[in-house]
Amino acid sequence: MKLWAARDVATRVLSGFATEPGPSPLSEHREAIDRCFSKDRVEDILVTLEAERTPWAEETRATLGRMSPSSLKVTRRQVRLCRSRPYDEVVTVEYRLSQHCTALPDFREGIRAVLVDKDNRPKWNPPTLAEVREADVEACFSPLGDRDLVV
């Protein structure tokens, strides 16, 4: 079968399963999401979530509070860095992050806490947002030399 024919068959089969997803469950929180997550620093996002005083904001703040402080800062940087970049650049950043972040102690600690010991009490290093060094966040975005992804 030719490639274009296989693609047409796959498209026909998959389209038979397509359904209208309906409104996003987050759409009712859109204004609060925009207000809270427009901040440049994770610390400011948490303060703004606290000020919202809604169940959604409280749940979101609690969820973020359980995450690795380093990962939160890396993720915030990633969103800012990649939001207006073309896919070819974003995929390279994603690959670099996958390589750098899986080598960090927090990656293994998260696996230990959730999947191995199942105590759900990770001991992050560093343990607070204030202790995360900007240089460590930036290092997660650094090129990988001859192991870098070339698109």
The answer to whether residue 103 is domain-embedded is yes
- pLDDT, residue 5, reads 78
Do residues 104 and 137 lie in contact, with contact meaning Cβ atoms separated by under 8 Å? no
pLDDT-wise least confident of 3-7, 17-21, 55-59, 129-133:
3-7
Per-residue pLDDT for 1 more than 60? no
The answer to whether residue 11 is domain-embedded is no
Residues 64-112 have pLDDT tens digits of: 999 999 999 999 999 999 999 999 999 999 999 999 999 999 999 999 9
Q: What does the chain come to in residues?
A: 151
Higher pLDDT, 30 or 150: 30
Q: Please calculate the CA angle 77-32-69 and round it to the nearest 5 degrees.
A: 35
The answer to whether residue 6 is domain-embedded is no
The answer to whether residue 104 is domain-embedded is yes
Higher pLDDT, 8 or 143: 143
Q: Give the number of domains in the chain.
A: 1
The answer to whether residue 99 is domain-embedded is yes
Range of the domain at 93: 86-151
The answer to whether residue 117 is domain-embedded is yes
The answer to whether residue 134 is domain-embedded is yes
Residue range 40-65: mean pLDDT, rounded: 97
Higher pLDDT, 3 or 7: 7
The answer to whether residue 146 is domain-embedded is yes
Residue range 5-13: mean pLDDT, rounded: 86
